[in-house]
Amino acid sequence: MHKKYFILPLLCLAFACKQKTVTNLHAVTSTKDTTKLPQISAAQLIDPGKSIGLTHLNESLDSVILHLGKPDRGDAAMGAAFTTWFAQHDTLGHETDIYSHRTMGGPDENINHVKLIRVTSPYFKTVQGVGTGLSLAEIGKHFKVEHIADYIKATDTLMVYDDTKEGISFEIDKSGKCTGVSVHKPNDASTGYLSLHPGSQYLRVKK
């Protein structure tokens, strides 16, 4: 048989192998790019304006207690409830705080709806990997400074930078590290946070 009948199949095979190599290279590159994002499970996800872990804004406090268990501390007055869970029930450990409220005289006045969720554990993170332990500068890489600085809580030891548009706030201590993260309804921060921390003050920052 003439040599030309062998050359054509060999050329096709070589081209196919080259295409396969290029395709696989792109696939590897694509996979590598996606692994740059932190892998955050639903149980630890901070979703601004919506939820932290398995606790969601506007769900009933009774529902929260079902999946978090009996709270370690709680107080209720004037339709509002302040509830706290400590890790391992140790008051020196990380805590989860819930501010909830019920509408007096409304059709569901017996139900306390979650209005603000606060955590101090570094276990909880946003999809960008933002959580406690980071500096304000690191947080600012993912949440715009002009949003974060909408409100500041002025005390001797703590400042709270709140991104009202997204519905998330960050407590920053004297060392410049984040010690707590709260999630609230977008554009509705101060009422819940002030209720959760009686006596604190927010100051509007001029832009």
Tens digit of each residue's pLDDT (9 = 90 or more) over 74-115: 888 778 888 999 999 999 999 999 999 887 776 777 899 999
Whether residues 121 and 102 share a domain: the answer is yes
Domain of residue 18 covers 1-36
Q: Is residue 41 included in any domain, yes or no?
A: no
- The pair of three-digit structure tokens given for residue 95, joined into one six-digit string: 């805590």
Whether residues 51 and 14 share a domain: the answer is no
Whether residues 1 and 100 share a domain: the answer is no
- The pair of three-digit structure tokens given for residue 185, joined into one six-digit string: 């309804």
Whether residues 24 and 65 share a domain: the answer is no
- The pair of three-digit structure tokens given for residue 194, joined into one six-digit string: 């002030």
**Could you tell me the pLDDT band of residue 18, with boundaries at 50, 70 and 90?**
very low
**Could you tell me the pLDDT band of residue 33, with boundaries at 50, 70 and 90?**
very low
Whether residues 137 and 186 share a domain: the answer is yes
- What pLDDT, on the 0 to 100 scale, is given for residue 162? 80
Q: Is residue 95 included in any domain, yes or no?
A: yes
Whether residues 150 and 68 share a domain: the answer is yes
Whether residues 152 and 93 share a domain: the answer is yes
Q: Please report, for the domain that includes residue 200, its CATH number.
A: 2.60.460
Whole-model pTM?
A: 0.73
Whether residues 70 and 138 share a domain: the answer is yes
Q: What is the rounded distance in angstroms from the CA atom of residue 44 to the CA atom of residue 40?
A: 6
Contacts of 99 (CB under 8 A, 6+ apart): 80, 81, 82, 114, 115, 116, 118, 192, 193, 195, 196
Whether residues 26 and 74 share a domain: the answer is no
Whether residues 68 and 156 share a domain: the answer is yes
Least confident of 26-30, 67-71, 91-95: 26-30
Whether residues 194 and 100 share a domain: the answer is yes
Q: Is residue 73 included in any domain, yes or no?
A: yes
**What is the number of other CB atoms lying within 10 angstroms of the CB of residue 100?**
26
**What is the number of other CB atoms lying within 10 angstroms of the CB of residue 90?**
10
Q: Are strands 158-163 and 95-101 parallel, antiparallel or unpaired?
A: unpaired
CA-based nearest residue to 162, from 185, 129, 134, 128: 185
Q: How many domains does the chain have?
A: 2
